[in-house]
Amino acid sequence: MRDVSIAKSEFIPDQKAISKLQDIQEEPELFRYYSLPQCLKYILLFHWSNIMAMHTMLINKPPDTGNRTSRHSMHQDLHYFPFCPADRIVWSWTAMEKVHSLVVLPGSHHGTLKEHNYPEWEGGVNKMYHGVRDYDPNHPRVHLEMEKGDTLFFHPLLTHGSEMNQKQGFRKAISCHYAGANCYSIDVRGTTQENIGQEVYEIAASKYAVEDATFEDTWAVRGRLVQGDRTNL
Ligand SMILES: O=C(O)CCC(=O)C(=O)O
């Protein structure tokens, strides 16, 4: 994924626009992260017998250009997933350097999945960076201070966001949405997730020339077994 304002700049080399590597599950060196005992010991506490890595990312947040496009507005990750239940999905996010740009709304995971869309930001918004349409701006916030190697485990309904990178260098983190393989797919048509489903479908159809793939299919091909048997997902 490329940062929207850097990608437009003729002065910055293309490689420097890369803000995320998505779907790195087939890259053997990076996939080692997903089966690290230090991460899995927490995932195993949920007693899922079969564990999938559904969404893998290396986040490489570029120095902000001044347009504030390196921000990620407040959102719930479940918005992106056509599978449930939410209690069988957990996100691990490991800081690859000292960082304090993540913000969370504590307790928000007890609520429901909210409607998301692109925020109306003047400087532009990165592709698929949807945000919750209306969350309580007075809800208490926690800014997470993390050292290199610190790892957070998030519920997929936890509202969170990420502030712009005001440093000179790229801010790196590696993450995985783990899910119990017995999660089941849902059809998002007619739900608040229909907009992201349509957008992901259009990207997949144009990139891979697969017009008959569904949003659920785009996730099924990304999922990779970490432990046990691949059952539903
Ligand atoms: O690493 C970050 O900046 C957070 C990204 C994020 O919130 C997400 O990908 O859901």
Q: What was the pLDDT predicted at 97?
A: 93
| Per-residue model confidence as pLDDT tens for the chain (233 residues) | 887 776 666 656 666 778 889 889 999 999 999 999 999 999 999 989 899 999 999 999 888 778 888 789 999 999 999 999 999 999 999 999 999 889 999 999 999 999 999 998 888 888 889 999 988 889 999 999 999 999 999 999 999 999 888 888 889 999 999 999 999 999 999 999 999 999 999 888 888 888 788 899 999 999 999 999 999 99
**Domain edges within the chain:** 4-227
Torsion angle in degrees (nearest 10) through CA of 32, 34, 39, 43: -150
Whether 61 lines ligand 1, by a CB cut-off of 6 Å, is yes
Closest ligand 1 atom to 161 CA:
7
Give the 3-state DSSP-derived string for the chain, with helices as H, strands as E and coil as C. Answer: CECHHHHCCCCCCHHHHECEEECCCCCHHHHHHHHCHHHHHHHHHHCCCCEEEEEEEEEEECCCCCCCCCCEEEECHHHHCCEECHHHEEEEEEECCCEEEEEECCCHHHCCCCCEECCCCCCCCCCCCCEECCCCCCCCCEEEEECCCCEEEECCCCCEEECCCCCCCCEEEEEEEEEECCCEECCCCCCCCHHHHHHHHHHHHHHHCCCCCCHHHHHHCCCEEEECCCCCC
d(CA 108, CA 76): 9
The dotted CATH code for 4-227 is 2.60.120.620
Q: How far apart are CA 88 and CA 183, in angstroms?
A: 7
Give distance in angstroms: CA of 96 to centre of ligand 1. Answer: 13
How far is ligand 1, taken at its centre, from the CA of residue 41, in Å? 23
C-beta of 3 in contact with ligand 1 (< 6 A): no
Distance from Cα 61 to the centre of ligand 1, integer Å: 9
| Ligand 1 atom with minimal separation from the 77 CA | 10
Nearest to 123 by CA among 12, 7, 222, 39: 7
What's the pLDDT score for residue 18?
A: 83
Return the ligand 1 atom nearest residue 91 CA: 10
Q: Is 174 in the pocket of ligand 1 (CB under 6 A)?
A: no
Owner of token pair 């997902």: 233
